[in-house]
Every structure is written in C-alpha cells, then in structure tokens.
C-alpha cells in the first residue's frame, strides 16, 4: 500500500485541481494500491488531522474546475512555531499526523509562504514534494507558476472592457491588478491590454513622470489614459523609506488600496477625472486557461514521477519548457521579481509604455 497526503495552501488559484489530477493520474497509472489522504483547508488539515480519503475517481473530471476540492487557508509561516490557543505545537502536530497515517509522502501545492513551511517539514524529516501554485508567478526556481496566465487573462479582459469605455469618455482609468509584492501579472496584463502606463513594485514610480505621460497623451489629442497598477506599486519616496517609516506613513493615510492613492495624486496635479477598477478576487477564480491546464498537468505528472523515483525534498518546476526538480532549500524564502532591465521591460518601453521611472 502506498499512502500519499495532499494539501493546497494559501490563496486559491486556477488549475489547483488540474495539478492534483495530474499527480493522482500519474501515480495510479503505475502503482496499484494507492491511498490518498486529502487534508482539508491547507496545513490546518494536517495540523488537526482533518482529512478525507480520496480515490482516483475523485480527481476525474476536475481538470477544468476552478478552486480546490480540498479547500485551502492561509497559515502564516511565522506562526507555525507559535503554539496555538490550546497550546498545541503545530509543527509537532503535523509530523504526528504524517507518521500516524504512515504516509509515504506529502504533496503540497502552494506559493511562497507555503514553501517555507514545506521546507521546514522537509527539514523535520518528512518526504515532501511541492508544486508551484500562485497567480503572482513570484516563486523562485521556476519560469512559470500555474494560475499566472489565467490571472493575466482576466486582468487583460478587465483592461479590454475599460478600454471601450475609455474611448467613449475623456478620463484617466486606473486598473489595480493583483500580484502581491511583484509585478508579473500587471506587466503582462498591462502589455496585453495596451495600457499606456504600467506601475510595478520593482520600478518605483515618480508621480511627476506619470503626470507628464498623461499630459503628453492629452496634448497629442488622445482622449484617455489607461494605467495598470500592481497592488504592490510604490512611489520613489516611499521606496526610500525604512520599513518602519513606511508603515507609520501608511497608517496615517486611509486609501483602500494603492490605486486610490495614485488617483488622488493624479487628480491633484491634473484636471482629469480618474476612474478606478479593482477586479480583485475574480483574478483567482473560474476555470483555468488552456496554458495553465497544460502546465499544471505536466507538473502534476512530473511530481508523480519524482514520487515514484523516491526523490523527495523538491519543488517540481518548469525551466525552458522542461520539467525539473529544484531543492526546496533553494526555493524557500526567495522571491522572483521582475528585472527592471530585462528584455520585456525594454521592449515594452520601446512601444511607448511608461513605467513612471524617467
């Protein structure tokens, strides 16, 4: 009997089910007696030994299904070593569940925080395999994470719709795009949606440069300006502050999100009306796009191979279109940022997009 534990952790995204289907189909095509323990709502299920016994049938027909059939929750890494309200040591609890169920391995699908915890479990001696799940595409060690392209599609669709309104009304439109601390989704959706200005965390913006770009468009007879703003975008001044100073400053203002802050700045410095659109959680929802289904299926199958090879302690990743195994120790705690001097940024600038930086 081969026993696999599986969990999805962190914010949900598209193709989680597709990836789990890949893992299970891969293993069950080669191994006869497999028991699958589906832990409910992320690490919580592992901590409190809350799971469902699943069979390969439960993973049939879920390739196109959004969300995760296991449920998920956020369990901050920094809280893992802090006993919970009942005094329970969460790490020991997870190890206990793993050993009690006599698991051969634990398959974890998640993003950055999830990988830190997964790496800790590896250090504690568990057989762990992870899959890179996040719309943010900020996981170090893989060219691409599943969920990303679907989120880009949705954010692009939002910009497309705003575009038709923009051509009808004379205004500045800000679309705030998800991505946590990195700008990948905003960069791609911004280019794909034909945004005039793209503001990313990796390229702190100068509001005067932004205003300049808006005014130049107006002077050239363009009726509108579209700005794609990453939720983590930051101004030059704020980027020069210490973490503590920044927190203090943010505590004083009361912008619901960064788009509102930038909107106010623009309205102070121009005579233009500004409209804000925040697609928010829709960027994580719905059926995965074809790209993500292929990627997730491939990574799932590659994880199955690694499991059958007995090669644990890795994240299954994609590099140059090939699936590879990257040691968790290398992945955990590192973010993959957009490089301000990369090809794609240079190309975007060449087509006239302003990043608010010069």
Residues that are catalytic:
136
135 scored as a contact of a second copy (CB under 8 A): no
Distance between start and end Cα atoms, the chain = 62
Site for a second copy in 184-243 (CB under 8 A): 188-189, 191-194, 223
341 scored as a contact of a second copy (CB under 8 A): no
Q: How far is the CB of 48 from a second copy (least distance, A)?
A: 14
Q: How far is the CB of 239 from a second copy (least distance, A)?
A: 26
Question: Judged by CB, which is closer to a second copy: 58, or 123?
Answer: 58
Per-residue contact track with a second copy, 302 to 321, x per CB under 8 A?
A: x-xx--------------xx
Q: Is 223 within any annotated ligand binding site?
A: no
Piece of 80-88, 158-166, 234-242, 325-333 that binds a second copy (CB under 8 A): 158-166
Coil, helix or strand at residue 207: helix
Coil, helix or strand at residue 226: strand
Q: Is 178 within any annotated ligand binding site?
A: yes
Chosen residue from 156, 186, 225, 263 binding a second copy by CB under 8 A? 156
256 scored as a contact of a second copy (CB under 8 A): yes
- CA dist 194 and 256 (Å) reads 26
152 scored as a contact of a second copy (CB under 8 A): yes
Cα dihedral sign, 74-292-341-233: negative
Write the DSSP assignment of 83-133 as a string of letters.
--TT---HHHHHHHHHHHTT-SEEEEEE-HHHHHHHHHHHHTT--EEEEEE
From residue 183, alpha-carbon distances to 110, 140, 308, 347 in Å are 19, 14, 36, 16
User: Which residues touch 264 (CB under 8 Å, ≥6 apart)?
Assistant: 255
Residue ranges of the annotated binding site for substrate are 134-136, 171, 178-180, 231, 275, 281-284
Residue ranges of the annotated binding site for ATP are 11, 74-75, 111-114
């Amino acid at each position: 009997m081969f026993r696999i534990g599986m969990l999805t952790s962190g914010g949900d995204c598209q193709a989680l089910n597709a990836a789990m289907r890949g893992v299970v189909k891969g293993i069950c095509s080669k191994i006869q007696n497999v028991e699958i323990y589906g832990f409910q709502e992320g690490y919580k299920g592992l901590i409190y030994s809350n799971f469902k016994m699943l069979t390969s049938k439960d993973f049939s027909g879920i390739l196109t299904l959004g969300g995760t059939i296991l449920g998920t929750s956020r369990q901050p890494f920094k809280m893992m070593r802090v006993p919970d309200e009942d005094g329970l040591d969460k790490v020991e609890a997870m190890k206990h569940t793993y050993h009690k169920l006599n698991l051969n391995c634990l398959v974890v699908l998640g993003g950055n925080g999830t990988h830190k915890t997964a790496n800790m479990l590896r250090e504690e001696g568990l057989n762990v395999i992870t899959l890179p799940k996040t719309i943010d595409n900020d996981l170090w060690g893989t060219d691409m994470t599943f969920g990303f392209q679907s989120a880009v599609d949705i954010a692009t669709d939002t910009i497309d719709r705003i575009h038709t309104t923009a051509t009808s009304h004379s205004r500045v439109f800000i679309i705030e795009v998800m991505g946590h601390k990195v700008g990948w989704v905003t960069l791609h959706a911004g280019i794909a949606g034909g945004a005039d200005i793209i503001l990313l965390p990796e390229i702190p913006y100068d509001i005067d440069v932004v205003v300049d770009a808006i005014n130049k468009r107006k002077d050239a007879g363009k009726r509108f300006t579209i700005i794609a703003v990453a939720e983590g975008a930051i101004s030059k001044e704020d980027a020069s502050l210490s973490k503590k100073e920044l927190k203090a400053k943010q505590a004083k203002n009361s912008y619901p999100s960064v788009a509102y802050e930038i909107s106010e700045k623009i309205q102070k410095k121009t005579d233009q009306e500004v409209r804000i659109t925040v697609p928010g959680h829709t960027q994580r929802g719905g059926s995965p796009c074809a790209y993500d289904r292929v990627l997730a299926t491939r990574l799932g199958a590659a994880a199955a191979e690694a499991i059958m090879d007995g090669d644990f302690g890795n994240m299954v990743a994609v590099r140059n279109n090939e699936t590879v195994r990257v040691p968790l120790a290398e992945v955990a705690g590192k973010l993959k940022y957009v490089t301000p001097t990369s090809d794609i940024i240079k190309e975007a600038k060449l087509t006239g997009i302003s990043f608010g930086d010069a």
